[in-house]
Chain A
Amino acid sequence: MCSRHLMRMCGALLVALTVVTACGCRETTDKPRIALIMKSLANEFFMTMENGARDHQKAQADKYELIAQGIKDELDVSRQIQLVEQMIAQGVDAIVIAPADSKSLVAVCKRARDAGIVVVNIDNRLDAEVLREKGVAIPFVGPDNRKGARKVGEHVAAQLAQGDPVAIIEGAPNAYNAVQRRLGFEDACNAAGLDVVASQPAHWEMARANEIVSGIITEHPAIKAALCANDSMALGAVAALRAAGKLNSVLVAGFDNISAVQGLLAKGEIVATADQHADQLAVFGIEYALAILRGDTTPADKETPVDLVTRETLQGGVSGALATGAAG
């Protein structure tokens, strides 16, 4: 008696659940579901990216649904692979991904493609060789970090003389964008005939960059500029120069245009940084995925803007950034 009662209850519950899920599904079938999978949410850059995507979705809630996910830190590659697998299991229509590792994520992205899901790669480019090996084409939508770093480097070089010694403070050496930025800085230095006397990784960290720059300016007192692969490290460099009383003789440049450097840019303590429009980056990817889903476009790579930010551009900055955002 009791067990039959229980059975009936369970049955009713099952039916109710099925109805709810069915309704849930029916409601969303006309609206594509897009998964945004990012790297570290501990990083201001990705926070900005996520917020930009959420705002975009809110503004056009009738066009698509957004599932945004991130991992603990940029090294948690296996967790990111799990996230992609979960999204495949959920049957999303498109995945927009900023891969934590350019090689390890290729296999799972291929699985998503095989399951009929549109995959768009943003921010950190998947390795071309591995993609070719797996026989899969995934469009990349994002900025050219090398070109951006070169612009920053050229702005610094314009204020220096040929043969001046400079230092490069690199990001994490295993990250694709860190390598691209270093290469971009080197391009600018080579073109202007600057002498790169030191190039060391500080793993994107302010405190580490501070230690490294302190050491470098002691060993190379004549140094004229420190080109840093992100703004956090530029902050560390500025602190090191201030402590050594060399703030006026060494130019510091960064990358990313985070809020913390705005004041320093205005004061000229950081001479240049690059803005890759983090808030628009995921949006570019999402809009591209939507276009592919509508059949408006065939998958191909798409470059997004990277803008040089200096004290001069800051003054007329807001309208400039908006204009580029609209263009993208």
Chain B
Amino acid sequence: MRGAGRRFLGDSLGLVLVLATLVVFFGLITRHFFSFTTLQTIVNQIPDSLVIAVGMTFVLVIAGIDLSVGSVLALSGAVLGVCLARLHWPLPPAIVACLFTGLLAGTVNGAVTVRWALPSFIVTLGMLEAARGAAYLVTTSQTQYIGEPIERIAEAGLFGISLPFLIAFLIVIIGQTVLSHTTFGRYMLAVGANEETARLSGVPTRMVRLSVFMISGLLASVAAVIHCARMSAADPNTGIGYELNAIAAVVIGGTSLMGGRGSVANTFLGVLIIAVLQNGLVQAGAQDPTKRIVTGAVIVAAVIVDYYRRRSGGLTARVGG
């Protein structure tokens, strides 16, 4: 355990450095960045992105990609919104319907990818379109205002920490444990490093691929519940571009786009970096073009810093290096 702990610290140092630099920078250029409100805002805003990013970490680890998460979030949220606001269902069955929608979308992604051996890029690109269309269809393109029934989720909490954050944090811990301490985790790393070798060694590669896309879809719908709770509403236009944000966070966290290597804990830091950046830029009053240029630059810079730290730390020889 001590070894693992030290390895995590060593691995994450570059990211912590980037994060600290950003916090200090925004602390200096704005008046109120060092405040409890900022912390509260970030804690309130990251759970949905975090949950999606955990699923995306798994997908990237097996050398796949899931472009549909933003649309699947919108569709699952739309189902949740319609069940609650229009059909007046109680909360538990509405949440089940929402989670089922996400799981279904993920299953379709996985099954099509596996059955016809297609690149997940193109399959999930199709789902990105289809799920968005379905979201407009179920809501008839109208934002569903849910209000009180769902707000309970956002307001609930333990020791002043909101329930959505606790759920997201729990998912991070479970995700990291699965990845580094279970057979399924080792299978994922093996499939990502070299699928053919993994298959010949007896890894059920098709099953692993299918499961990973199912998990990603399901987590997108968990994120949808959290998202709708935060907004008190389900907007069929929401979640556009979330897939790219999630991929950015995961890659900042050092997970390889080539697969075979990844860390959920570092994805957490990646999500935090993006959240701090977006929050800081708003507080600094940056205009839209500036915001986009800075965000793009920081994403690339964070990956570069991480690259050099890995080199100097000599930690590149791990699975799939």
Separation of A232 and B45 alpha carbons in the complex (Å): 18
A242-B232 contact, Cβ under 8 Å, with A207-B239, A214-B279, A219-B283: yes
| Cβ proximity bits B254-282 to A, threshold 8 Å, 1 near / 0 not | 00000000000000000000000011011
A211 and B278 within 8 A (CB): yes
B226 to chain A, nearest CB (A): 12
Distance in angstroms between the alpha carbons of A259 and B147 in the assembled complex:
13
With A201-B288, A232-B237 given, is the CB distance from A219 to B231 under 8 Å? no
From A209, which residue of chain B is reached at the shortest CB distance?
B231
**Cβ-neighbour of A212 out of B136, B231, B282 (below 8 A):** B282
| 0/1 interface trace, chain A 237-276, chain B, CB 8 Å (1 if under) | 0110011100000000000001111111000000000000
For B281, the chain A residues whose CB sits under 8 A away are: 215
B contact residues around A43 at 8 Å (CB):
141, 237
Q: Which residues of B contact A216 (CB under 8 A)?
A: 282-283
Are A235 and B41 in contact, with the CB atoms below 8 A? Answer: no
Interface residues of B in 17-39 (CB under 8 A from A): 30-33, 35, 37-38
A238 & B232 in contact (Cβ 8 Å cutoff): yes
Instruction: Assess the A260–B233 pair: CB atoms within 8 A.
Output: yes
Counting CB contacts under 8 A, is A312 at the interface? Answer: no
Q: Judge whether B145 and A263 touch: CB under 8 Å.
A: yes
A29 within 8 A of B: no
- With beta carbons under 8 angstroms apart, the residue of A173, A206, A258, A261 that contacts B288 is A173
Whether the pair B282, A200 counts as a contact (CB closer than 8 A) is: yes
Asked if B201 CB lies within 8 Å of chain A CBs, one says no
What per-residue 1/0 map shows which CB atoms of A213-236 lie under 8 Å from chain B? 011111101000000000110011
Interface size in chain A (residues, C-beta < 8 A): 39
Which residue of the partner chain, among B38, B141, B235, B288, contacts A218 with CB atoms under 8 Å?
A: B38
Measured in the bound complex, the distance between the Cα atoms of B45 and A287 in whole Å is 47
Closest residue of chain B to A220 (Cβ to Cβ) is B32
Q: Is B295 an interface residue (CB 8 A)?
A: no
With A207-B227, A221-B37 as known contacts, state yes or no: A258 contacts B143, CB within 8 Å.
yes
Q: Across the interface, do A205 and B142 meet the contact criterion of CB distance under 8 Å? A: no
CB-nearest residue of chain B relative to A47?
B141
Binary CB contact string for chain A from 278 to 298 against chain B (1 if under 8 A, 0 otherwise): 000000000000000000000
Asked if A179 CB lies within 8 Å of chain B CBs, one says no
Residue contact B141 to A236, C-beta cutoff 8 Å: no
Residues of A within 8 A of B33 (CB): 218-219
- B141 and A44 within 8 A (CB): yes
Given known pairs A173-B288, A198-B285, A205-B240, the reply for A235 and B141 (CB within 8 Å) is no
- Closest chain-A Cβ to B147's Cβ sits at a distance in Å of 6
- Pick the contact of A235: B145, B236, B240 (CB < 8 A): B145
Residue on B nearest A261 in the bound complex, by CB: B145
- Interface assignment of B40: CB less than 8 Å from any CB of chain A: yes
Bound complex: CA A258 to CA B87 (Å):
19
B141–A221 CB distance below 8 A: no
A300 to B4, CA, bound (A): 75
B100 to chain A: closest CB distance in Å?
23
Q: Mark A29-49, 1 if CB is under 8 A from B, else 0.
A: 000000000000111100100
Task: Take A200-B288, A206-B238 as given contacts and tell me if A211 and B141 are in contact as well, using a CB distance cutoff of 8 Å.
Answer: no
Interface contact A215-B279, CB-CB below 8 Å: yes
Also in contact, A235 and B232, with CB within 8 A (given A215-B282, A218-B283): yes
Contacts of B287 in A (CB 8 A): 200
List 21 A–B pairs whose Cβ atoms lie within 8 Å, in order of A's numbering: A44-B141, A47-B142, A205-B237, A211-B279, A211-B282, A215-B41, A215-B279, A215-B282, A217-B37, A219-B30, A219-B33, A219-B282, A232-B237, A239-B230, A239-B231, A243-B41, A259-B142, A259-B145, A261-B145, A262-B145, A264-B145
